[in-house]
Amino acid sequence: MEKLAKQSIKRGCSDSEQNGSMARNFEEVKKLGKEMDQAKTGTELEEDDHKTPDPLQNQRP
């Protein structure tokens, strides 16, 4: 854990701001769920903002 904290300090972010890590507790899961509820879907981005959504990550050529 101490090594992880040192890496976070080097990168200038706190433990809660790291990308690619799983939620550590149920409160964090609920917070992330609320953030996802507020995020627009690809269709909403296209219709409301005239933006192109991110491509599907598992789409094969």
Kindly list the averaged pLDDT for each block of 10 residues, start to end, along the chain of length 61.
50 58 90 92 87 72 59
Give the angle 56-60-61 at the CA atoms, nearest 5°: 115
Quote the pLDDT of residue 51.
84
27, two tokens: 């409160």
| pTM for the full predicted model | 0.45
Give the angle 52-29-36 at the CA atoms, nearest 5°: 20
Quote the pLDDT of residue 18.
57
